[in-house]
Structure formats: C-alpha cells, structure tokens
Structure 1
Amino acid sequence: MVSILIVWIAGMWSALLLVLLSDADSVRDSSTHLPADWVEKLYFAGFTLSTLGTGDFSPASDAWRVVTSLSAFAGIAFITTSITYFVPVLSAVNLQSKISLYIASMGKTPQAILINSWNGKDFSSFFDNASDLADMIMQHTLNHRSYPMIHYYHNSREDKSIKRSLVMLDEVVLVLMPAVSEDSCKDKLKLKMLRVTLDTYIDIVKGASSKNSPDKGTAPEPDLCELREEGVPLHEDATGYVARQEVKQHRQKLTALLESDGWTWQDVYGTG
C-alpha cells in the first residue's frame, strides 16, 4: 500500500513538473519575478499538488494559473481518493483477521470445533454462530471483489490465516457434518448458508490464485475417532462420502487454496 501511494505521488508530481518544464517562463519567483529553475518548479509542483499554496512562487500567466488550479484540484482529488481507498482496505484486512480468530476460538482442528460444539444432544452452539460466520465471510468475499489488493495480505500465524481458517471451517461443513447423524444436525438452513458463502469465497479466491498454485497435494481422509470417543453419533459409513467425485474435486480446490498461502493439510488437521 505504501508502494502504491509513493507511485501515485511520484507519477502526479513528475507529470506536473514535465508540464511546467515545457515553458521556461511558466513559473516565477514572487519576489524577484525571475523565471524559476527546474528545482524550483519541482518545489512549486509539490506544494501545488499538496494544496499547501505557500506563495513564494507563482504562475507567470493566466494560462499557467489555470493549469495550477487544475493541478490543485487534482491534488485534492488524490488525497480524497487515497483516504477512501486505503481506509476500506485496512478495514477489510482487519475483517479477515477477525474471521480467522473467530474460527480459531472455536477449535484448532475441524474435529475440535465439532467436539467443542457438541452438547451431548446436538450442535446448537455451532449453529448459533453460523449466521454471524456466514455474514462475515460474505462481506470478506465482497471485499475481494471491491479491493483485490487484500488477496495479497497473508499472515504466518495459524490463528490469523484466513485461508487456513476457512478451509478448516469448510471441512466441518463439507466433510464432518455429513458424517454426523441427521438427528444431531437439524438446522439445515444455517448449514446451507455456510455452504453457499464458503463456495462463493473459494471460487473467487481460487480463481485469483490458480495461476500460481497448482494442485499438488492430496486432501487426507478425516480422522473421526475423536468424535466417536466423545459420543458423537455418526453414520455407519461415515467416511464413504470422501470417495465421491464431487467431494474430491471440491477438496482439490481446498488443497490449492492452502498451498497458495503456504499451508498444508497438516496445518489444518495437525497430522502428518
């Protein structure tokens, strides 16, 4: 962001300087009325764009006064544009950190999230948070459309990595939830909301990173032993769905998503 700001400033400043250099008598010293040299014109261009208006140099003619006025308006527009662009970008980055920490607080692995959500009867505590999660993820997805720059913000901490966190949540929804008995997972609407928002996010971000992140790894079969030990009711064929073609294709996208951010499935499940 700092680099972009510097490029914008340098581009506008040098452009105005070149315009002023096209006429040797474009700018004069307000005291001596002598033509300004190129360093003084550089200074004049700088305070014109920054709208400081110090007044020790002035345009030499009416035509150059118009050019100076237009440049000052351009400087105001630049300042406004910078604020209206960078502030939302920083807010979007903060949102993705918030989502990551929110998911990390639920559990360190997909199994842990479900175990922590299990109350002995159902996963009502998980679904109590599902609406908030879906809303934040959808906002984050829209931010990717509006501010593609946030795609390049990465975090080396597991609890703040948005891609790792959302892959972990996706595993809860896509892989582990279908294995849980339907009697214990009754809130289908909130589950569908999470599914749709996650799919939308994955399609947008995977498309943005597909050139640099070929699918190399293979998604592991989830270990459901912890769930059984905690008494979570599972289908008899709890892991059979992993072999489905549509599930494999979806998890290939998750693999590429993890690799594009420097993570692996070991970071999701904590296993080799």
Structure 2
Amino acid sequence: MNTLYLILGLLLFIVTVMDLIKTTFSSNGGGMITNTVSKAVWKIFFALAGKDGKSSALSYTGPAVLISILLVWIIGLWGALFLLLLSDKDSIVNSSTLVIASPLEKLYYAGFTLSTLGVGDYIATTNAWRIITSLAAFSGLAFITASITYFVPVLSAVGLQSKLSLYISSMGKTPQLILVNSWDGKDFSSFFDTTSDLCQMLMQHTMNHHSYPVIHYFHNNQVKLAIAPAIVLLDEAYHLLELAGAKDELKMEMLQITLKTYKETMKESFLKNTKAHREAPTPDLAQLHKAGIPVKDTDQVKQVFEQELHEHRQLLTSLLEKDGWSWKEVYDPSY
C-alpha cells in the first residue's frame, strides 16, 4: 500500500467535493477552486480582448468559465479515484486475464467508473475496492449531475442581469436624460412609478450575485445590455435626483439601499484592493437647466460630485474599468 497516493487521493477528493458542494448547494457564493478558476479564465479573455468591453471575445467568457469549472471538478474526482487505485498495485485486474492493471488502465477504470459506464473489462480485486468503486460511481453520478444542474439557475440569473441592464438604459442613455425623460414640469413621478420594479430587480440581481458570483463573468458587449454601465448610470441619476430635490423620500431611500447593497457586494467580491485609473467626470447641467429642472447651481454640484462623492465614484470607476468600460458609456449618448 502506497500511503502517499492514498493520502493525496483522499485530500483531492475532499477538496473537490467541498468546492463543488459550496458552489452548487450554498447560497454564499463559489468555493475557493471555483473562484480561482473563474478569475483566471476572465483575466485571460480580458487580456485577449484588450480590456475593451465592446470586444466580442468577452461574450464567450461566461460559458468558458462554466465549462472550465465543470472540467476542474471532473478532473478532481477522476484524479482522486485514480490516486486511490494507485495506492494498491493489486486494486484492479483485467476481468478476462486477471492480469494486474497498469497505471494507464487504472486511469481508464477510474474514468468509466465515475461516468457510470460500467464497461466491465476491468474489475476490483477485493470487497474493499468493490465498495470504493460503488461509492465512486454514486459520487460521480450525484456530483456531476449537481454541477450540470447548477448551470440552470446561473443562466436564469444572467437573463435577469441583461433584463435589468436594458430596463435602466431604456430610461435614458445618460443620467441627465433619465431626469429629463421623467420630469413632468413639477416632479419626477414617472421615474418613481418605476422605482419599485427597478429596486426589486436590482435586489434580486444582488442576491443572485451573492449566490452565483460566476454571473459576473457573463459579459455583454452591447452597452445597453451591460450591467456595469447600467448600475453606474442609475447611481449617478440617483445623486442628480437628490440635488434636484426629488420629494419621494420612500422611493429614494429604497433606491439608495438597493444600490448600496449591490456596491458592497461587488466591493467584497470583485473590487478588493482595486484602484481607479481615471477620475470621474462632473455632470453637465445644461440639459437639466434647459428642461427647467430645479437642480442646484453648478458650483454646488461640482462640490458634491468631486469632493463629497469622490471616494464613492472612484469605486464606480473601478467597477467600469474592471469590466472594460469607461465613463464615456455613462455620459456620452452616442455610445
């Protein structure tokens, strides 16, 4: 009995299964292996795309991440059983000749056992190895099925993410346009009529992000369907509404809390130790003044956005840059 192979096999099995269970059955995000693989795949695609959010290459990142995670889990389970079989040179024999299986044949046996093919050209030699083979077959069936089933809620969450992005961008291509489009000459009642639905979708998206952080890597290269510019667009509109004296305190409070919760989730998961490379622009108020919206004067707005909200907007800048976007997608209606 080779103790080293036995210990390595058990450790690999435990680590793989713990990661799989935490990712697929927990509501607290992915496991360590899942998160590491996801970030590595994203970095590769992001570099190949030249860090450009409009690159079509980034559209394949999400599926590539899911496939990579599944492959890592399969390889982990397969490798674990293979190492266990290697720990005993007499563990497996050819069913016809009873010749002891070679390492390559044991690798083959481990693969068809986990996939529950049950070919039968190689068999376990003792009751202990027969039980281990049965347990491995059940593990393969259960865990690989669970990992594939995990894709369903992930893809559903990605659909909600695109829906939320389109919902926000359809309200106005810039924060100023959101205010102008919802201004009726007296207040912003048309904006607040949509706030409940908007907050509900944003809260659901935040919870999905917490449960399935892998959705962060599902990138849409169309600005109107991209989540990062949409969230920044809504956040900037919220602060302009504050400066314009929006009176619906309840809806403003709801919007503030949902936006804050989302940003905290992103900061904890994807924006740790990140620094913005550019400064956020100060909103131009000409469009608001032309529409008769009673926003505060330019100097006050400049003070709020450049000083009071400076750190907050640095986080928004990082959110955009980490996804390949910039403030142009937020304040330039031509994008």
TM-aligned CA distance change 1:195 to 1:238, over 3 Å:
farther
Q: Does 1:206 align with 2:267?
A: yes
Q: Does 1:177 align with 2:230?
A: no
Q: Residues of 2 paired with 1:166 and 1:173: CA distance?
A: 11
Matched with 1:222 is: 283
Query: What is the Cα deviation at residue 239 of structure 1?
Result: 5.5
Matched with 2:316 is: 254
% identity of equivalent residues: 57
Matched with 2:145 is: 80
Cα pair 2:173 2:333 within 8 Å, conserved? no
TM-aligned CA distance change 1:173 to 1:236, over 3 Å:
closer
Which of 178, 181, 191 aligns to 2:252? It is 191
Cα pair 2:320 2:327 within 8 Å, conserved? yes
Q: Does 1:243 align with 2:303?
A: yes
For residues 76-108 of structure 1, give each alpha carbon's deviation from its aligned partner in whole angstroms, at most 9, with x where no partner exists.
232233034332222222222221111112121
Matched with 2:328 is: 266
Q: Residues of 2 paired with 1:83 and 1:122: CA distance?
A: 49
Matched with 2:162 is: 97
Determine which structure has more spread, i.e. the larger CA radius of gyration. 1
Correspondence 1:1-272 to 2 at 5 A: 1-174=66-239, 176-180=240-244, 182=245, 185-211=246-272, 213-231=274-292, 233-237=293-297, 240-244=300-304, 245-270=307-332
Q: In structure 1, give the amino acid aligned to 2:311.
A: Q
Cα pair 1:242 1:248 within 8 Å, conserved? no
Cα pair 1:151 1:205 within 8 Å, conserved? no
Q: Residues of 1 paired with 2:229 and 2:296: CA distance?
A: 29
Query: What is the Cα deviation at residue 211 of structure 1?
Result: 4.6
SS at match of 2:123: strand
SS at match of 1:106: coil
* Normalised TM-score (structure 1): 0.87
Q: In structure 1, give the amino acid aligned to 2:286.
A: C
Query: What is the Cα deviation at residue 66 of structure 1?
Result: 0.8
Query: What is the Cα deviation at residue 224 of structure 1?
Result: 2.0
Query: What is the Cα deviation at residue 165 of structure 1?
Result: 0.6
SS at match of 2:161: helix
Q: Which has the higher contact order (CA 8 A, sep 6+)?
A: 2
Give the CA RMSD over aligned residues. 2.4
Q: In structure 1, give the amino acid aligned to 2:283.
A: P
Bigger mean CA deviation after superposition, 36-45 or 66-75: 36-45
* Normalised TM-score (structure 2): 0.72
Bigger mean CA deviation after superposition, 56-65 or 233-242: 233-242
Cα pair 2:174 2:333 within 8 Å, conserved? no
Bigger mean CA deviation after superposition, 40-49 or 75-84: 75-84
Query: What is the Cα deviation at residue 159 of structure 1?
Result: 1.1
Q: In structure 1, give the amino acid aligned to 2:314.
A: Q
Query: What is the Cα deviation at residue 170 of structure 1?
Result: 0.4
Query: What is the Cα deviation at residue 236 of structure 1?
Result: 4.7
For residues 149-171 of structure 1, give each alpha carbon's deviation from its aligned partner in whole angstroms, at most 9, with x where no partner exists.
23333333211221111000001
Bigger mean CA deviation after superposition, 26-35 or 63-72: 26-35
For residues 46-69 of structure 1, give each alpha carbon's deviation from its aligned partner in whole angstroms, at most 9, with x where no partner exists.
121112223333222211111101
Q: Residues of 1 paired with 2:114 and 2:277: CA distance?
A: 50
Q: Which runs of 5 or more structure 2 residues have no equivalent in the other structure?
A: 1-65
Query: What is the Cα deviation at residue 27 of structure 1?
Result: 2.0
Q: Which runs of 5 or more structure 1 residues have no equivalent in the other structure?
A: none
Query: What is the Cα deviation at residue 267 of structure 1?
Result: 1.8
Matched with 2:50 is: none
Q: In structure 2, give the amino acid aligned to 1:97.
A: S
